[in-house]
């Protein structure tokens, strides 16, 4: 092949072989639902999950230029969603807002004709959720994050990228995290 032919071939190939980072609009359209689900799985409140989602996409807008590869956008978004949701939970628990909301809902629910069975079932469901959340909080990092991201449907490769881990270790971290969660959840659930 002549030198001119090689130069023409090189000129015709795009400079980056990797997929380019999508525009903000494309990223929002493609990943909004996954980010919302990740946030909701932690905060369990649709309004709060939407707030977390908005904060995540604001961070994406600010950092979109630093993401060189389109394959990194989804794991990055889910990692930021997880961290933002956990920070939100921590701040809400410090202020005691969840307890106040529960008392208000129980008071309204008992007077609203829902009957004691509805209030008791709601209380039991909320108690179980809170026990699971407390158990999950006791699982050490990075096992906890691996469990959460696997629950969101990410592959081991995506989890490894999102958490900056070795892909070969992800399966082990998930298995150990599940075992630890079951052990801690059994202790918390047995206190009732």
Domain boundaries, the chain: 18-95, 116-192
CATH, domain 18-95, list 1.10.1740.10, 1.20.140.10, 3.40.720.10, 2.70.150.10 = 1.10.1740.10
Asked if residue 6 has pLDDT above 60, the reply is: no
Name the least confident of 112-121, 130-139, 166-175: 112-121
pTM across the whole model: 0.48
**In this predicted model, what pLDDT tens digit does every residue of 66-76 receive, in sequence order?**
877 778 899 99
Is residue 163 within 8 A of residue 79, CB to CB? The reply is yes
pLDDT at 190: 56
The architecture (CATH level 2) of 116-192 comes to Orthogonal Bundle (1.10)
**3-class SS shares of the chain: helix, strand, coil, % to 5:** 80, 0, 20
Is residue 167 within 8 A of residue 156, CB to CB? The reply is yes
pLDDT at 39: 92
**In this predicted model, what pLDDT tens digit does every residue of 80-103 receive, in sequence order?**
999 999 888 887 766 665 556 656
């Amino acid at each position: 092949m002549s030198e001119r032919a090689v130069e023409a071939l090189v000129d015709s190939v795009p400079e980056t072989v990797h997929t380019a980072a999508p525009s903000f609009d494309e990223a929002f359209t493609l990943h909004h639902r996954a980010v919302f689900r990740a946030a909701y799985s932690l905060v369990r409140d649709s309004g709060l999950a939407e707030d977390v989602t908005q904060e995540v996409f604001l961070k994406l807008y600010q950092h979109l230029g630093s993401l060189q590869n389109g394959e990194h956008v989804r794991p990055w978004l889910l990692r930021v969603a997880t961290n933002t949701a956990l920070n939100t939970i921590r701040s809400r628990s410090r202020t005691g807002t969840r307890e106040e909301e529960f008392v208000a809902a129980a008071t309204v629910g008992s007077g609203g004709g829902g009957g004691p069975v509805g209030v008791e079932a709601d209380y039991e469901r909320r108690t179980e959720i809170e026990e699971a959340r407390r158990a999950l909080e006791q699982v050490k990092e990075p096992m906890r994050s691996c469990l959460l991201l696997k629950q969101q449907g990410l592959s081991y490769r995506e989890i490894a990228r999102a958490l900056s881990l070795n892909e070969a270790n992800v399966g082990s971290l998930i298995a150990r995290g599940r075992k630890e969660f079951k052990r801690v959840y059994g202790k918390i659930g047995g206190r009732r």
